A and B are shown apart, each in its own frame.
Chain A
Amino acid sequence: TAASQCSSAMSSEVEETLRRIQSHKGVKGVLIVSAAGVPIRSDLDPEETNTYAALLSQLAMKARSVVRTMDETDDLTFFRLRSKKHEIMVAPDAEYLLIVIQRPTD
């Protein structure tokens, strides 16, 4: 069907993107999570996946709400948490969150 053709074309694009990100030096983990916080893809173990998915999707919602409170026409496009041990990047979308964990850059 058109829908399954479309979704298999999309999913190979997704695979490509994930492979590209995963092959970057320093990348420790990549997750795709639904807007509701349900993990869809991950290269972390199941427990870590659930923890990262839950915590970061909640934080993404809060960050988005801060952006929109300050300007209701604005929206969150990206956020980045840098800590001593790693850097977590979150790219939110209408339906998904892409989460990448990498070694700190400095």
Chain B
Amino acid sequence: MSEVEETLERVKVQPGVEGYVICDKKGQVLRRLPSMSQQQAEVYAQRMTSLSKKARGVVRDLNPKNELRFLRIRAKKHEVLVAYDQEFLVIVIQRWTPAPQV
């Protein structure tokens, strides 16, 4: 459990992080960033569980031996990162900025 705590602490302090949710494959919220409301967390959990299952389906349709690991959905100002595991989803919501020009 402390490994989970450590990881969450590291995620929390990344610049731009506005929320995180850990949920099971049914979309049940297990943990959330304390400043997020339960309702907000549940909305993210439901939506990302459903979308990541579809993404997983695409990956497996392309190659049945392949497995989805990670999904990143970027909108205008925020992006949602989903780490997809056997039993859980770890969802992080953060603000994003363009990469510096090289």
Are A81 and B55 in contact, with the CB atoms below 8 A? yes
CB of A76 within 8 A of CB of B74, answer yes
Binding site for A on B (CB under 8 A): 43, 47-48, 50-51, 54-55, 58-59, 61-63, 65-79
Give the A interface residue count (CB, 8 A): 26
Query: Which A residues contact B (CB, under 8 angstroms)?
Result: 51-52, 55-56, 58-59, 62-63, 66-67, 69-71, 74-86
- A59–B58 touching, CB < 8 Å: yes
- Say which residue of B54, B63, B70, B76 sits within 8 Å of A82 (CB atoms): B70
Provide the bound-state CA to CA distance between A80 and B51, in Å: 13
Given the contacts A55-B58, A55-B61, A56-B58, A74 and B66 also touching, CB distance less than 8 Å: no
**A82/B71 contact (C-beta < 8 A), A70-B47, A74-B76, A75-B76 known:** yes
